[in-house]
Amino acid sequence: MKQFAEFIRKNYQTIILITVVVGLLLGLWTAAPGKVVQRYSQALTFLMILFISLTITPRQFALVVRQPLAVVAGLVLNFVYMPLLCWALARLLVSDPQLITGIILVGVVPCAGMAAVWTALLKGDVPLGMAINGLTIPYDCEMVIAKEGVEKLPTLDFDEADVERIAEKIAKEALGS
């Protein structure tokens, strides 16, 4: 397992770029692979996040604890700066109120699981990015529960199907799909 993790660590950017190119070429030829892969998108997203996790050594992740200002800055950028930037750009560039709302909502949504992959591809601080991403997951869960179960919260009258549906949405949000 250690050799596999080292291989992934050394070749992650190349593996992702080759996968994207193969996917694009297959997509130009036929849509069939996309329809097959779509069924497994959550599992594939999980694998991509798992593989990026293998590129981080425990020592690198421990260094994140020594950078509290970087973590706070990442959270402020995620929850304050991005929504304000999207609001300002939407007000400047778009006249349709529904589109403005959509753009602002995109800025409000916390970073997804795939943010770690993009951080790695851009040679950023992956451990820091994963820490910030991990800190946004409770917010994701809270938003899903509020959206799905707000009418049932006063009575806590969730049945098994409600809990399964909410858990599935939380998992999808955490995986970024």
Q: What is the reported pLDDT for 152?
A: 45
Q: What is the reported pLDDT for 162?
A: 59
CB 116 within 8 A of CB 126: yes
Low-confidence ranges of the chain (pLDDT < 70): 110-114, 138-177
Q: Closest Cα to residue 99, out of 109, 84, 89, 85? A: 89
Furthest CA-CA distance within the chain: 54
CB 56 within 8 A of CB 127: yes
Q: Closest Cα to residue 113, out of 62, 171, 49? A: 49
Q: Which domain holds residue 114?
A: 2-175
Q: Structurally, how many domains does the chain consist of?
A: 1
